[in-house]
Chains A and B, each alone.
Chain A
Amino acid sequence: MTEPTIDRATYDALKDTAGADFVVELVDTFLVEAPRLMDALRTAYDKRDADVFRRSAHSLKSNGNTFGARTLGALAKDLELGGLAPVVKGDGEPLDVLAQEYARVAAALTELRNA
């Protein structure tokens, strides 16, 4: 994969416009909220709750794009638009792929926040 986990241009622009201190706070909020959204996605998949599934994927996509986590954003967008069917077909595998990408994003953001 050549795409960086976090697009630095997006992240730096965010820092410039919102302020470095604020972005630290924003990253911390994301690191608390995102695992909840991942859990919600997993539960919605287990219960086959299409509404919550779409909404959670939508939220993750939106946040991913905010921080420049393009791959995470793209994976979440696929889930938002594709709905439950492809995930059921893949026996939950797309959610595992998303979780692995989130782990990379969380690590990268933590590093950037502490920099």
Chain B
Amino acid sequence: MHEGGHGAARLLVVDDNKVNRLLLARSLELQGHSVASAENGRIALETLRRENFDALLLDMEMPEMDGFQVLEVLVADLQLRDLPVIVTSSLEGIESVVRCIELGAEDYLSKPVNPVLLKARLGASLEKKRLRDQQRDWMRRFATREVAQDLQESGFSFGGKRVHAAVMFSDIRGFTALAETQPPEETIELLNTYYTLMFDAIGSHGGIVTLMAGDGLMAVFGAPLPQPDACGSAVRTALEMIETMNLFNVDRVAASKPPLKIGIGIASGEMVAGYAGTNERATYTCIGDTVNLASRLEAHTKVAQRTILIDGATRAALSDRVEVESLGALEIRGKATPVHVYSVALVQKL
């Protein structure tokens, strides 16, 4: 809700008839809502694009742009299509009601509008909107903007598609040991700061975090939305993450705390991306050999005593743009032939 007390909403009343407009606005104001009005569909859409509303009360018979046309525009508009619309009309015949509902109207009230019915129907619509907003808010928090957008545009369905992308795994060295030496509150606070910094680095290069587990995270570049230079973005992100950690460590050392070190593995190639899980709980994820390889490379950073390791495909995609050190071929479980591994130099121009 935008303003006012509990249950108070900001509403737009659209009706070409002044008596109807005044009366409906009055009924809604008496119920504690704040009301703006428009006298036809065109003005209503202009107002909706300029200001935020919690619900729309829409008449059907109007000059210039009628209610059906407004519903058609709203359903096709990503920003406005979740706005609850209650049709208030005195159109004759059930066909009109059916058409409104088919066009996405939340409810239909005949005029003259009964104030008690109005209150009940509007309350239900606003509650549904509140839940939808909350869901979207949670989705943003847990799923990233890209996945949220993909879900909003394509809807939710299980099943993957083959994508070409770069995958990154990273984790904090010796984090478990560190966690055991400090109070749990401090560990969670440290993780929150760490995640904030890493998410920022990943997001600013177009990547999405698909997995967080303890101190480890997995990010994908190039899915669900294709990215022209996924490998370059992944490596740039890795370098930024290291740089950010260095700055973060300056503060930690100053506070007499041990610095944090992270290891990062990146691999690129084809993988299956999509939503996996159950109807109650699902996550956007990527699966395949490329993903396993990135995870193995991250684990190998400890053995190789390097910070960022990438595979041959990522190296090839970057050609000469990145300065690397060849670590030779590495046997990877699940891979028939050994994989060539490169360590990315931490100081370079990319």
Interface residues of A (CB under 8 A from B): 17-19, 22, 25-26, 29-30, 33, 52, 54-55, 58-59, 61-63, 65-66, 77, 80-81
Contact = CB atoms under 8 A, between A and B. Distances in A.
Given A62-B111, A65-B111, A65-B112, A22 B26 contact: yes
B17 interface: yes
A81 B61 CA distance: 13
A63 B19 contact: yes
Nearest to B21: A29
A29 B92 contact: no
B30 interface: yes
Contacts, number: 54
A18 B30 contact: yes
Contacts of A52: 63
Contacts of B204: none
5 contacts: A26-B22, A55-B63, A58-B90, A62-B112, A66-B20
B23 interface: yes
Interface in B90-119: 90-92, 111-112, 115
A18 B30 CA distance: 8
Contact of B23 (A26, A33, A81): A26
Please indicate which of the listed interface residues A17, A33, A65 has the most CB atoms of chain B within 10 Å of its own CB: A17
B18 interface: yes
A33 B20 CA distance: 11
B22 A33 contact: no
B90 A65 contact: yes
Contacts of A19: 26, 30
Given A18-B27, A55-B63, A66 B115 contact: no
Contact of A62 (B17, B22, B30, B63): B17
Interface of B: 16-20, 22-23, 26-27, 30, 61-63, 90-92, 111-112, 115
Given A58-B90, A66-B20, 10 more contacts: A17-B115, A18-B23, A29-B18, A29-B19, A54-B61, A58-B61, A58-B91, A59-B61, A62-B90, A63-B20
A80 B112 CA distance: 17
Contacts of A66: 19-20, 23, 111-112
Given A18-B23, A22-B26, A66-B19, A61 B63 contact: no
A52 B48 CA distance: 26
Contacts of B111: 62, 65-66
B19 A26 contact: yes
A112 to B, nearest CB: 15
A62 B20 contact: yes
Given A55-B61, A59-B61, A62-B112, A77 B19 contact: no
A96 B30 CA distance: 39
Contacts of B20: 62-63, 66
A82 to B, nearest CB: 11
A22 to B, nearest CB: 6
A81 B92 contact: yes
Contacts of A59: 16-17, 61
B26 A18 contact: yes
Nearest to A22: B26
A46 to B, nearest CB: 18
Contacts of A29: 18-19, 22
B331 to A, nearest CB: 78
A65 B59 CA distance: 16
B90 A33 contact: no
Contacts of A80: 92
A77 B30 CA distance: 30
Contacts of A62: 17, 20, 90, 111-112
